């Protein structure tokens, strides 16, 4: 139940964040403590579509339903990595991305956000019994 909830809420929030990012609400000039570059917007859009697709597209839903817990566990690992790794990176900019040359983890706010979401994803996995059937 909780992995499904995490994928549904997380996918929806990622798509909303993508739209806000493309409109420019969180731009480097307008919000220097937390901004979204084009690579982050594209990544957030893709991840949001995959998360929601895994829940709602017939066929895909059937195939991935038994693996939702593992998918969310993988997401938790990636988010926790990004949160910790972001503190070790030098400051980046849209001209010089600091995350493998593709995107930015631009501030402590961004890093803490990834850490919190990683903990929430991990909690969703831990709270869901192994072998629980996806609804």
Which pLDDT tens digit goes with each residue over 67-108?
Answer: 999 999 999 999 999 989 888 887 766 666 667 767 777 778
Count of domains for the chain: 1
Higher pLDDT, 51 or 96: 51
The verdict on residue 34 lying in a domain is yes
Residue 7 domain flag: yes
The verdict on residue 132 lying in a domain is no
Q: Is there a domain that residue 55 lies in?
A: yes
Q: Which residues contact 108 (CB under 8 A, 6 or more apart)?
A: 87
Virtual torsion, Cα 15, 16, 19, 20, nearest 10 deg: -140
For residue 58, the enclosing domain spans 2-127
Q: What distance in Å separates the CA atoms of residue 112 and residue 1, rounded to the nearest whole number?
A: 26
Rounded average pLDDT over 5-33: 88
Contact 18, 52 (CB under 8 A): no
C-beta of residue 114 within 8 angstroms of C-beta of residue 77: no
Residue 97 confidence (pLDDT) = 65
Check residue 132 and give its pLDDT.
61
Q: What is the pLDDT of residue 4?
A: 94
Angle between helices 2-23 and 108-127 (to 10 degrees): 160
Phi and psi (nearest 5°) for 132?
-65, 130
| Within-domain flag for 65 | yes
> Does 25 reside within a domain?
yes
Q: Is residue 133 part of a domain?
A: no
Give me the pLDDT at residue 12, please: 95
Residue 134 lies in a domain: no
* Total residue length of the chain: 135
**DSSP-derived secondary structure letter, 65:** G
Full-prediction pTM beyond 0.75?
Answer: yes
């Amino acid at each position: 139940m909780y992995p499904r909830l995490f994928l549904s809420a997380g996918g929806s929030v990622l798509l909303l964040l993508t739209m806000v990012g493309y409109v420019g609400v969180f731009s480097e000039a307008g919000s220097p403590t937390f901004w979204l570059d084009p690579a982050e917007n594209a990544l957030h859009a893709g991840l949001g579509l995959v998360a929601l697709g895994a829940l709602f597209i017939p066929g895909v839903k059937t195939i991935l339903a038994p693996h939702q817990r593992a998918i969310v566990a993988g997401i938790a690992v990636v988010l926790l990595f990004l949160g910790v790794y972001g503190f070790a990176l030098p400051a980046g900019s849209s001209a010089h991305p600091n995350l493998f040359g593709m995107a930015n983890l631009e501030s402590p706010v961004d890093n803490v956000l990834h850490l919190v979401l990683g903990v929430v994803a991990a909690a969703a996995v831990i709270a869901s019994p192994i072998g629980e059937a996806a609804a």
